[in-house]
Amino acid sequence: MPVYEFRCQNCHNRVGIQLSYAEYGVKAVTCPVCGSNKLTRLIGRVRIAKSEDRRMDDLSDPSFMGDVDENDPKSLARAMKKMGQEMGEDLPPEFSEITDRLESGEDPESIEKSMPELGAGGMDGGGMDDGGMDDF
Ligand SMILES: [Zn+2]
């Protein structure tokens, strides 16, 4: 269970409070020193999660894809590679195959047709299903 750090506005102690992710933001937290509920979150691991959220926001931000021409497979391939790098995860083997084929100028639709597993269930794992990858 993660420990979240708070600064007590009453006694000004820095306190660590163990909260589950489900409890965080829901459960009322009180200062273990003075019992005050005027606690302010200190920068900690949640900031990391937030920055990841921010990163995912960037990926879905239209400006991120701003220079992508959907009718240009090479442009799509570049965007997909950029996205893949941003995700920083192990990409499925299909991913590089798709980008390679896009870069060689192949039509995305014909790639999709030749890879039926993409249509059923998409690219499994890594949360790819939730992203904008469904278009492929
Ligand atoms: Zn306190």
Per residue in 38-71, pLDDT tens? Answer: 999 886 544 445 555 555 555 555 555 556 777 7
- In angstroms, what is the span from residue 43 Cα to ligand 1's centroid? 18
0.75 exceeded by the pTM? Answer: no
User: Are 85 and 59 within 8 A, CB to CB?
Assistant: no
| 40: CB partners within 8 A, 6+ apart | 6, 7, 9
Q: How much of the chain is in helix, strand and coil states, percent to nearest 5?
A: 45, 10, 45
pLDDT at 46: 47
- Between 132 and 79, the higher pLDDT residue: 79
Q: Is the pLDDT of residue 28 over 50?
A: yes
Mean pLDDT, rounded, of the chain: 74
Say how many Å lie between the CA of residue 28 and the centre of ligand 1. Answer: 14
Q: How confident is the model over 106-113, as a mean pLDDT? A: 84
Distance 42 CA to ligand 1 centre (A): 14
